[in-house]
Amino acid sequence: MALIVGLESLGIPLPGEAVLIVASVYAATHDGNIAMVIGAATVGAIVGDNIGYMVGRKFGYSLVLKFGSYLGLTEGRVKLGQYLFQKYGGAVVFFGRFFAVLRFLAAFLAGVNQLAWPRFLVANALGGLVWASIVGISAYTFGRGIHELQGPVGAVAFVVAVGIVIAIFVYLRRHEAELQAQAEASLPGPLPGFERRD
């Protein structure tokens, strides 16, 4: 389970949360140890995210320089990403663990945007522990009944996640110029690599 959760955290599309739910239900119905299940999921999340962070920190920025223009990533937008991660990076990493898409993107983006590793580590470890505990204990408590709830709960969580992503996108689009001005004030001057492309 730790391996699957860790690989999902690296960006490989594996069902880490589903595996955690199944393992927790199995522990509930077979006198298993839920603490070991939560521990394995937490370790997998932390290790996988840290590898994703290191990959993003080492290679992500050069990938943005090389391919970012194809995705509309101007220097201003890259600087905006760095500014937002400086300001809210810990929250993004912590809460990203609870949303499927962010679960494997947050760590990589934290690395790309140079979030300080100690901040990342604390937010990542707390996020992994809280996520594994909430999902694991909930599944363990409901035991076999979790199968009846998983569909509706999953659907509601998906709708909420989509709603949050849309709200953030709309906010960023409406306030992009203002946020870019704040980012420029916080990070004045050209970003490394962009001055060579003009």
d(CA 143, CA 175): 45
Per residue in 158-189, pLDDT tens? 566 567 657 766 766 677 677 677 767 776 66
Is residue 34 scored above 80 in pLDDT? Answer: yes
Which pTM was predicted? Answer: 0.69
Calpha distance 140→143 (Å, rounded): 5
- Alpha-carbon span 96 to 107, nearest angstrom: 9
Task: Specify the higher pLDDT residue, 161 or 24.
Answer: 24
Q: What is the mean pLDDT of residues 115-130?
A: 93
pLDDT of residue 21: 84
Distance separating alpha carbons of residues 6 and 99, to the nearest angstrom: 15
Would you list the domain boundaries of the chain?
Answer: 2-186
Beta-strand ranges (E) seen in the chain are none
Give the pair of three-digit tokens for residue 122.
């604390």
- Find out whether 7 and 47 touch, Cβ atoms under 8 Å: no
Percent of the chain with pLDDT over 90: 20
Average pLDDT over residues 56-71: 81
Q: How far is CA 6 from CA 17, 104, 120, 137, in A?
A: 11, 9, 16, 20
Top pLDDT among 50 and 146 is at: 50
Distance separating alpha carbons of residues 133 and 137, to the nearest angstrom = 6
Greater confidence, 80 or 52?
52
3-class SS at 162?
helix
Q: Which residue has the higher pLDDT, 95 or 171?
A: 95
Whether 79 contacts 114, CB under 8 Å:
no
- The contacts of residue 89 (CB under 8 Å, 6+ apart) are 110, 113, 115, 119, 120, 123
Q: What's the pLDDT score for residue 124?
A: 94
Average pLDDT over residues 71-95: 79
pLDDT for residue 198: 43
